[in-house]
């Protein structure tokens, strides 16, 4: 019999089922756990005031972005190599997402073909794009995603050179990529970072180029600074994702919850704002929306569900978070996402 709430239970089940190195890969962060804790604590520090006796008018959690309407604002963030966690892989996740009337971002490092994922989902998914070292290679991956029928591009910029941090087992790879990106040979005295990795990292000029290639909505993922958010808007991006990559890239960053209000204020409604990193409950979803986000993304929680029960586990995680969001709305006296924005949070 299940003794824990669903998400902790699925995390426990995932840890029990997965090989130790794969579990460590999923849960690792740049600060040996400290950044994960900081992300979670950022949402937990915000408090809600109950509002009983409020008459709710046609309550719902409907979310509309870029002319797409979903039953709720809980999106699935891009997670690489999902066949590591369950044979259902990204296809299972996509089917579950569609069954729960939501939206999913397919990773550049997906372990199944993006065309197959979109086809099995029976809906137009979003595609998360990693820079491929130069414009020509990036354009090849971009065109593959567009040909598959994705409806938005989410360009992740906070991990400029992304490589597998685990030795992948046979049969699992980033099947949508061309040959692995080779690092150029370094000369004596050169830096692996400055003269190696960063020579293949994107810049704002590349964002401007990408904007010209993409006729569907373009979002920039991994922004934490107000000036960067303003620059994305100036270049015509339709959205940004406030994120510290779930703590996996740079240690000692503020939590997403800490920087979200300033970015919302700076953007001033000129683009859509999503947020991830540390969302672990429907109350966290509510708090992010109250602070001005248009939608949220979850990562590790749905992978726990995938590892525990395959596609069904993913569906249960989404449904649980939506149920928790609805309960929070009912107890704080709000009927829809627009009313959540009027709620005052307390530190």
Choosing from 24, 72, 225, 245, which is the catalytic residue?
A: 245
Active site residue 245: yes
Closest of 106, 101, 98 to residue 78, by C-alpha: 106
Bridge partners of 274, per DSSP, are: 241, 295
Rounded Cα distance between 284 and 111, Å, is 29
- The burial class, CB within 10 Å (0-12 / 13-18 / 19+), for 17 is middle
Chain centre to alpha carbon of residue 131: 17
Catalytic positions: 245
């Amino acid at each position: 019999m299940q003794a824990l709430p669903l998400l902790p239970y699925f995390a426990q089940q995932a840890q029990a089922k997965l090989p130790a190195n794969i579990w460590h890969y999923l849960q690792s962060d740049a600060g040996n756990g400290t950044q994960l804790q900081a992300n979670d604590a950022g949402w937990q520090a915000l408090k809600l005031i109950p509002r009983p006796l409020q008459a709710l008018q046609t309550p719902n959690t409907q979310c509309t972005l870029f002319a797409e309407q979903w039953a709720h604002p809980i999106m699935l963030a891009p997670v690489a190599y999902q066949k590591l966690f369950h044979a259902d892989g990204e296809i299972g996740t996509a089917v579950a997402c569609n069954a729960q009337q939501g939206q999913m971002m397919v990773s550049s490092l997906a372990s199944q073909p993006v065309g197959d994922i979109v086809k099995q989902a029976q809906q137009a998914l979003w595609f998360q794009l990693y820079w491929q070292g130069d414009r020509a290679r990036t354009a090849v991956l971009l065109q593959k995603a567009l040909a598959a029928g994705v409806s938005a591009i989410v360009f992740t910029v906070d991990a400029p050179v992304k490589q597998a941090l685990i030795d992948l087992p046979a049969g699992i790879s980033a099947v949508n990529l061309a040959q692995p990106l080779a690092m150029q040979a370094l000369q004596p005295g050169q830096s692996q970072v400055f003269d190696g990795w960063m020579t293949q990292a994107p810049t704002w000029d590349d964002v401007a180029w990408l904007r010209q290639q993409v006729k569907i909505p373009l979002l920039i993922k991994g922004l934490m600074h107000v000036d960067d958010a303003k620059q994305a808007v100036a270049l015509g991006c339709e959205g940004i994702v406030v994120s510290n990559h779930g703590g996996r890239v740079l240690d000692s960053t503020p939590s997403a919850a800490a920087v979200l209000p300033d970015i919302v204020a700076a953007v001033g409604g000129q683009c859509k704002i999503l947020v991830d990193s540390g969302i672990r409950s429907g109350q966290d979803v509510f708090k992010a929306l109250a602070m001005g986000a248009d939608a949220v993304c979850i990562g590790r929680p749905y992978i726990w569900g995938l590892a525990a029960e395959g596609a069904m586990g993913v569906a249960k995680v989404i449904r649980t978070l939506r149920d928790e969001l609805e309960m929070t709305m009912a107890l704080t006296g709000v009927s829809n996402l627009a009313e959540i924005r009027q709620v005052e949070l307390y530190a």
